[in-house]
Structure 1
Amino acid sequence: MTRAKAELSRGALALVAAAAFFGHARALGAGFVFDDRGAIQENPVVQGGLDLGALFGSDFWGHPLGEGPGTWRPLVVLSFWLNKHVTEGFHATNLVLHAATSVMLALALARHTGRTTFAVVAAMVFGVLGIHTEAVVGLVGRADVMAAGFAWLAWYLAGRADEEEAPRNTIGAALAFAGALACKESAIVFPLFLFLADRILSPPGRAPRILSARYGSLVAAAGAVIALRTVAFAPPLAAVSRDVQANPLLAEGWGPRVWTSLRLFGMALGKIVLPVRLSADYSYAAILPEPSPFVVPVLVGALVLVGLVALAIRLRRREPLLALAAVMVLVPWFVVSQLPFVLPTIFAERLLYLPAAGFALAIARVGEWVLERTPGTLALPAAPSGKGKKRAAQKRPKVDPTHVRAFVLVLAPVMLGNLALAWNRGADWANDRTLFASAIEVVPRSARAHHNYGSALLNEGKAAASIGPFERASEILPTWSEPHAQLGVALLETGRVRESEEHFRKAVELDPDAAKAVFNLAVFLARQGRLEEARATLAPFVARHPNRTREAALLRQIEADLRSPRRP
């Protein structure tokens, strides 16, 4: 594929940004839902003053080592801190970052392919995809958006593989890649993507050697980020907590992991292509491990996966843009496929933010293919420079109406369909109740969807209505502590004291290290005047978890009350 140097005009980039921003503009009406509260409103690093030690020494949720999930994303946490203390507008910032990421994709594609129309159309399609709702509207999805933006910045800065290597490009790409890793761990696959993209887009015999500085600098950047994380916080994966409730694959061997991964791939591609029946949760038992490869979802996923790999290999020279689209799906998917390691969650739509770019590239190439076979011209002008500015103003390309109709017929169903789906889905993120009411419709077997719906009702003062969802969550996953802890609160508020104590105790019995379960039982006992029992409940927990300030403060208060001379 012959490539000319291509630069995009400001108008073309503004079009990409506008499509991405307004395609998900309903985010402006969304609330702090689900994980947003833990990552922002309950995060001491975000809520306090700027503390670089805490920023790099805490996990994504503001917890020290051993007290939280253990995911480490300091640049995203810093962006939350800036929103809180400087700029405000959390959801508006997410939209701006998504628009900037879409623009970065357009710039990188234009530089590496030399095709401006293809680059702009692909970026516009990417910007409006309905599957992006969770990543753009949900605030914790900012990690995926920022990681993708930095990765594509690294791709742009690296320059084309057949260009002369320049230290400035190499250093810039390495720094951008380091930024991507500091936003989300899944960005680690970028060097593999760059290597494969170079092989696809480079003229025969012109691709860089694998031991070149182009790739070596990325490896060095990854090593530096991993070293920083290890010194400031903990080695990768070592501190990441996982549980069967969120990912049932934790209890499985390699066979079920492989079969389930194949099923998930087919499911993921289906949701990218047709983003309907979306859910904020897919945990136990919405998706269970597949014990056999001989079931339809696994076989379909395997066929699709093999087909995409074959497509990338076979079309490498004849249709390099389609091969690139396949690689852009496959490489980001690999790291979230449950095969290299088991993730904290079995599946989440925000994990598809990067792989979805491959679908956008495929749509853009199909549109370009139709345009190539339609009379007339419809090329987006490159950015003029120097003397070319005056010449460009005098001679604007004529556009054939037939060409415009062909262009619209190809792109309108995808663009308008995704715009409508994204707008409709955005309404679900108004609050926790609306979000998990919709989740229950899609994944009625999810214990967490029912639990979170019940929690939303309880927080709205609808204790009686919340009892049913909590009971359903505990039926689906009887070994999960949290629904019992919340059910105890709901029963207590409706006057069913004896039953509430049974569930408080059941929650602690199931998980003695569950902070909510221990705290709720201790508060219940203290309010009943049973201070010795409350202390006996709290003291072992606080001894095991000295950094849990809320529980420690309650224990001190109970001990003070026990020493009080006014106590009967």
Structure 2
Amino acid sequence: MEPVLITSCLAAFLLYFNTLDAEFAYDDSRAIKTNPDVLPTTPILQLLWDDFWGTPLTHSGSHKSYRPLTVLSFRLNYMWAEFSPRTYHVTNVALHVAATGLFALLARVLTPHARLARTAAPLLFAAHPIHTEAVAGVVGRADVGAAIFFLGALLSYIRYCGCGRSGRGGAVGRRAWLGAALVSATLSMLTKEHGITALAVCAAYHVLVHAKLRPRDLLLVLTERRYRGVLEGLLALGVALVVLLSFRLAIMGSQPPEFAPADNPAADCDSVGVRALTFLFLPAFNFWLLLCPATLSFDWSMEAIPLVTSLADPRNLATLVMYSCIVLMVGAILVGLRRRRAAEEMGVSLGEGVGGETTDVMVVGVSLLVLPFLPATNLFFYVGFVVAERILYIPSMGACLLVGWGAHRLHSKARSPHTRRFLLAGLAALFLLFAARTWRRNRDWATEENLYRSGIHINPPKAYGNLANILSSQGKKEEAETAYKKALSYRANMADVHYNLGILYQEQKRYEEALHEYKLAIQFRPRMAMAHLNLGLVLGLLGQKQEAAEVYRHCSQLDGSGLKDPRTHEATKISALFNLGRLLADDGHFEKAIGVYREAVAKMPPHYQPQSLFNMLGEALFKLERYDEAERWYREALRVKSDHVPAHLTYGKLLAKINRMGEAEEWFLRARELAPNDSTVHQHFGQFLSEAERHDAAADHYLRAAQLAPMEYEIIFNAANTLRQAGRNDQAEEYYRLAVQLRPQEATSHMNLGAMLHVNGKLLEAESSYLEALRLKPDDTITRTNLQKLRHLLAKKGISPSR
């Protein structure tokens, strides 16, 4: 094994070593944590019918990103360590090392006598900062994996061509390499869509490098016997291309994906001229990122790159320069091909110069640079991004190969050792600069907060909006609110930001402000189901129940066609029906609630988790004393989720109601095993024991509930009552005092405290509590009666009342 291969692989590993403990970032959560296809519970064949995000390809909201092999790799990671980010990052780094090793092999094959070229190219590839998104971001695995199979296809095809030329291996061996190339290209496409361009690169290699044909000589392939091997290879590549494209179109339902205008503003522009100028400029911008990756961002949407609106825009000069460079390179290739043909006719060898190895390297380098990038140019179909650094993973191979060969040619032509040393120092400096930028950029990808902060100067609305979500999840609510408002100051129509700001206000019980933000979210995205659902929740909290019911009903009828995340949309519609039913049940309209719950059951999609819905349906039936039906739905809730604690409690209450006390206690005990630190479990178990007149045990459970939820008035008050029933009067007095502290304006708390003090012989304190209760509720008969009895007792003891 060559030292350069080991060195480049080692560099690839060391430069990304600091990503191994990184979090999931940006799209990672959606592609992995919320993707049902990653879970072993989803049939593995479902991967063949869903897109990269777990949405059926035929759904109008699908991105049509078909990458089943990448999703399969996520699934294997899940089987290894579930959602531990480290295992996913370890896999990504290992794949990058493998891709670097294969690229080093390709460089050796293409430049066998140019040591500097085959050294510089893989080292620059290993360290190139443009790869940080693909390697440090787990979603970028699609690009790294596609590159591995892409290189496998090209190396196999080169071997196929070599067998044909030398005669080694026979027809069977030669076609085995051809089959390997076609299989690898297919796997590359199934890892990420642009992997299919491996077929085009193989064709370019066969025609221009191996067969040494000029473009105008292509017809000779059809007519001359000596080119039968070329015809065989091109036919195989062409048939594979047609089959794979047909399969791709068929499986996506022959429908193009739909993208939000913010994802690709130029595609949504009405002006043909603006679209053309912008789409011509974007490849130049990508080419500049390959040459100078100083400015990188996690997201380039929302006009982070403004549209090119006129010919006077100076960016058109960059466009002109880039296309001029491509024309010059293609021209140099054509000149080289012409010279090579002339030299062959004369029996002369051209060596490394134009027409020799330089032409071969340029053919492969330009093919790798241009062809894999073509699907992202918007020339054939619109894509859902402006710039995505990870798609440059394969094109960067072409750039590194050309730079490496150029360095080799300059080095070989240098006339003095000083010039050669200067050139080598420049290459070393470039590698070190790349390495330092990569290492630093990896730190940005280590956490989502770092990543979003790093993108503020490039895409402030997107960066501030995402940063606010992170700050909010960290409990930094004031900073999050400021970040949300910053995002909206740049782009006021971001429905997601308005929605998330509404969530923040709702958590802070700033309900009027939350209502305002939810309404704005709905204004900018009328079919945003989550905003409707939360609007209904807030209206219910404000007592506007009729309005809440109307919002829930409207939410349940929203159309989900064309949306990015149809699973969440459909599940939210069922949640709206769930909350509508609960609203009706809370008002005592149990029959109507049952009707809504049954409608939700009938409409719920397969991925909806129905245990809470089934449980609430059972609750409504229980209230109507339809116990057999209630039991069936409690059982259904426990069938779909055997550890659903609320169903354990409600089922236990039902069994107690119909005097199946032993069974009831078993369900309460199971609930306690499942959630020993849930105050609600101990509260309900305590209530069951109290009704069974097992007051001492009931008191113990209420005490545990009070320890777990010391600020919950109902739990504290019921604990005091149960302690009193158990004859534990001193503890009962303590908890009545706590209840008074929690709700000093609650007359019942003062009355019960007075009664307990009365029993405990603290007569003057009891009198004070009774009087406070009467101040809050002057017409309470029980309190008046107790006060009269207390004063009679005080008179007997010769104690003067306090007032």
**Aligned CA distance change for structure 1 residues 531 and 115 (closer, same or farther; 3 Å):** farther
Partner of 1:6: none
Query: Which of 41, 54, 58 is 1:62 aligned to?
Result: 54
Cα displacement (A) at 1:540: 4.1
**Aligned CA distance change for structure 1 residues 485 and 179 (closer, same or farther; 3 Å):** same
User: For structure 1, which segment, 366-375 or 447-456, has the greater mean C-alpha deviation from structure 2 after superposition?
Assistant: 366-375
Partner of 1:368: 408
Partner of 1:398: none
Partner of 2:490: 476
Partner of 1:382: none
Spell out the pairing of 1:88-107 with structure 2 (5 A cutoff): 89-107=87-105
Contact 2:39 2:75 in 1 (8 A): yes
Partner of 1:297: 315
User: For structure 1, which segment, 417-426 or 55-64, has the greater mean C-alpha deviation from structure 2 after superposition?
Assistant: 55-64
Cα displacement (A) at 1:285: 2.5
Contact 1:504 1:521 in 2 (8 A): yes
Partner of 2:343: none
Determine if the alignment matches structure 1 residue 110 to structure 2 residue 131: no
Structure 1 counterpart SS, 2:20: helix
Partner of 2:585: 564
Partner of 1:489: 503
Partner of 2:185: 177
Could you list the runs of 5+ residues in structure 1 that have no partner in the other structure?
Answer: 1-8, 377-400
> What is the distance in 2 between the residues matched to 1:155 and 1:149?
10
Contact 1:432 1:456 in 2 (8 A): yes
Deviations 1:413-434 (A, max 9, x none): 1211100000011111122211
Counterpart residue type for residue 99 of structure 2? T
Partner of 1:77: 71
Partner of 2:371: 331
Cα displacement (A) at 1:43: 0.9
User: Higher helix proportion, which one?
Assistant: 2
> What is the distance in 1 between the residues matched to 2:103 and 2:122?
6
Cα displacement (A) at 1:130: 0.8
- The alignment-based identity, stated in percent, is 25
Query: Which of 494, 498, 520 is 1:506 aligned to?
Result: 520
Determine if the alignment matches structure 1 residue 462 to structure 2 residue 479: no
User: For structure 1, which segment, 520-529 or 305-314, has the greater mean C-alpha deviation from structure 2 after superposition?
Assistant: 520-529
> What is the distance in 1 between the residues matched to 2:312 and 2:209?
37
Could you state the TM-score of these two structures normalised by the residue count of structure 2?
A: 0.62
Cα displacement (A) at 1:162: 6.0
Counterpart residue type for residue 139 of structure 1? V
Structure 2 counterpart SS, 1:265: helix
Contact 1:75 1:183 in 2 (8 A): yes
Query: Which of 442, 451, 454 is 1:426 aligned to?
Result: 442
> What is the distance in 1 between the residues matched to 2:242 and 2:43?
24
Counterpart residue type for residue 497 of structure 1? Y
Partner of 2:771: none
Deviations 1:210-254 (A, max 9, x none): 8823233334334444454555x4236x25230111110122244
Cα displacement (A) at 1:40: 0.5
Partner of 1:86: 80
**Aligned CA distance change for structure 1 residues 530 and 180 (closer, same or farther; 3 Å):** farther
Cα displacement (A) at 1:167: 1.3
Deviations 1:287-316 (A, max 9, x none): 232122332112212221221232132145
Contact 1:436 1:453 in 2 (8 A): yes
Counterpart residue type for residue 246 of structure 1? D
Cα displacement (A) at 1:464: 1.8
Contact 2:30 2:53 in 1 (8 A): yes
Determine if the alignment matches structure 1 residue 124 to structure 2 residue 123: yes
Structure of greater Rg? 2
Determine if the alignment matches structure 1 residue 352 to structure 2 residue 366: no
Counterpart residue type for residue 335 of structure 1? P
Partner of 1:24: 16
Counterpart residue type for residue 359 of structure 1? A
Contact 1:60 1:73 in 2 (8 A): yes
Counterpart residue type for residue 44 of structure 1? P
Contact 1:122 1:363 in 2 (8 A): yes
Contact 1:440 1:450 in 2 (8 A): yes
Deviations 1:341-399 (A, max 9, x none): 221011111121122122211221133224434799xxxxxxxxxxxxxxxxxxxxxxx
Counterpart residue type for residue 344 of structure 1? G
Counterpart residue type for residue 130 of structure 2? I
Partner of 2:200: 192
Counterpart residue type for residue 431 of structure 2? M
User: For structure 1, which segment, 87-96 or 543-552, has the greater mean C-alpha deviation from structure 2 after superposition?
Assistant: 543-552
Query: Which of 210, 216, 220 is 2:235 aligned to?
Result: 216
Partner of 1:279: 297
Could you list the runs of 5+ residues in structure 2 that have no partner in the other structure?
Answer: 165-170, 223-229, 337-353, 561-565, 590-803
**Aligned CA distance change for structure 1 residues 290 and 403 (closer, same or farther; 3 Å):** closer
Partner of 1:263: 281
Cα displacement (A) at 1:114: 3.6
> What is the distance in 1 between the residues matched to 2:16 and 2:455?
19
Partner of 1:248: 265
> What is the distance in 1 between the residues matched to 2:391 and 2:148?
14
**Aligned CA distance change for structure 1 residues 526 and 495 (closer, same or farther; 3 Å):** closer
Counterpart residue type for residue 201 of structure 1? V
Cα displacement (A) at 1:97: 0.8
Cα displacement (A) at 1:190: 2.5
Structure 2 counterpart SS, 1:440: coil
User: For structure 1, which segment, 261-270 or 532-541, has the greater mean C-alpha deviation from structure 2 after superposition?
Assistant: 532-541
Counterpart residue type for residue 306 of structure 1? S
**Aligned CA distance change for structure 1 residues 198 and 292 (closer, same or farther; 3 Å):** farther
Determine if the alignment matches structure 1 residue 415 to structure 2 residue 431: yes
Structure 2 counterpart SS, 1:433: helix
Structure 1 counterpart SS, 2:323: helix
Q: How many residues align?
A: 532
Contact 2:104 2:122 in 1 (8 A): yes
User: For structure 1, which segment, 257-266 or 322-331, has the greater mean C-alpha deviation from structure 2 after superposition?
Assistant: 322-331
> What is the distance in 1 between the residues matched to 2:104 and 2:123?
8
Counterpart residue type for residue 554 of structure 1? S
**Aligned CA distance change for structure 1 residues 565 and 139 (closer, same or farther; 3 Å):** closer
**Aligned CA distance change for structure 1 residues 493 and 328 (closer, same or farther; 3 Å):** same
Contact 1:561 1:567 in 2 (8 A): no
Cα displacement (A) at 1:551: 1.0
Partner of 2:599: none
Spell out the pairing of 1:156-171 with structure 2 (5 A cutoff): 156-159=155-158, 161=161, 163-164=163-164, 166-171=174-179
Could you state the TM-score of these two structures normalised by the residue count of structure 1?
A: 0.86
Cα displacement (A) at 1:179: 0.7
CA RMSD, Structure 1 to Structure 2 (Å): 2.9
Partner of 1:3: none
Contact 1:109 1:119 in 2 (8 A): yes
Cα displacement (A) at 1:142: 1.0
> What is the distance in 1 between the residues matched to 2:60 and 2:543?
33
**Aligned CA distance change for structure 1 residues 204 and 245 (closer, same or farther; 3 Å):** closer
> What is the distance in 1 between the residues matched to 2:385 and 2:88?
24
Partner of 2:535: 521
Cα displacement (A) at 1:200: 4.0
> What is the distance in 1 between the residues matched to 2:549 and 2:50?
29
> What is the distance in 1 between the residues matched to 2:246 and 2:556?
32
Counterpart residue type for residue 268 of structure 1? N
Counterpart residue type for residue 196 of structure 1? A
Contact 1:508 1:514 in 2 (8 A): yes
Structure 1 counterpart SS, 2:308: coil
> What is the distance in 2 between the residues matched to 1:260 and 1:363?
27
User: For structure 1, which segment, 140-149 or 510-519, has the greater mean C-alpha deviation from structure 2 after superposition?
Assistant: 510-519
**Aligned CA distance change for structure 1 residues 224 and 537 (closer, same or farther; 3 Å):** farther
Cα displacement (A) at 1:82: 0.6
Partner of 1:384: none
